Amino acid sequence: MTSSEEPNAPGWVAIVGGGPGDPGLITRRGWQLLTEADVVVSDHLAPLALLDELERTHGRTPRVIDAAKYPGGRSMPQEVINEHLVDAARTGANVVRLKGGDPFVFGRGLEEVWACAAAGLRTEVVPGVTSAISLPALAGVAVTQKDLAQAFTVVSGHVPPGHPDSLVDWGALARSGATLVVLMGVRSMPAIADALLAAGLGEQTPTVTVIDGASPEVEVIRCSLGELGAEASRFRPPGVTVIGAVAGL
């Protein structure tokens, strides 16, 4: 993708999944587009070290717009993020929306595609390595294993069980026999544990929670499901929790 050479022609927008935070885990295509970007609209979980590498290796310093959404803190509304993407591209800039993980796994990337498409902008989506499987893997946890788990379910814990906005059937998940991978569930984990226990998932079911999984501050907390509610007081975002037999390996 290259910008048109016409004066005032719009640029392009690339919605790029940056992976779980380690700059080495971005895709080759994602890095290529980053080297061509005039503007980077970034999440706080994106691999921001890539911006320093970009300056060292390519002599480029794109304008950076901080679109971070911090749990319980400063948060740029999605509508404002969409406006930044559209407005920058309309000036002729090539824009990379640099996101953590994969843009279509609880990343609201599709809303950004819709906004750009409605504005008539050329848009590309670059999948990323999702934290749902990569952060457990970096901690030595496989979400599937022969004879233990033939399926895994990735679920958002942003809305706790029992909340009127919840779309998750926690009882069905408890009975599924699948590994459960919970993203964005740090604050809801006591309620999630209670819901799974109430639905019949055993108290001794192993769990593992990976905090800051792709950083030097990584912390891995293992406990049983029966202990999970109490242990959750030690958790901090970003965290990924794996629940099921594989967590005990």
Distance separating alpha carbons of residues 14 and 30, to the nearest angstrom = 9
Cβ atoms of 241 and 208 within 8 Å: the answer is yes
User: Which of 193, 185, 194 has the alpha carbon at shortest distance from 236?
Assistant: 185
Is 87 catalytic? The answer is: no
Distance separating alpha carbons of residues 220 and 241, to the nearest angstrom = 10
Distance separating alpha carbons of residues 221 and 236, to the nearest angstrom = 11
Largest Cα separation within the chain, whole Å, is 65
Is 69 catalytic? The answer is: yes
| Nearby residues of 29 by Cβ (< 8 Å), 6 or more positions away | 126
Catalytic residue among 43, 99, 102, 189: 43
Catalytic residue among 69, 76, 169, 194: 69
Is 66 catalytic? The answer is: no
| Residues noted as catalytic | 43, 69, 184
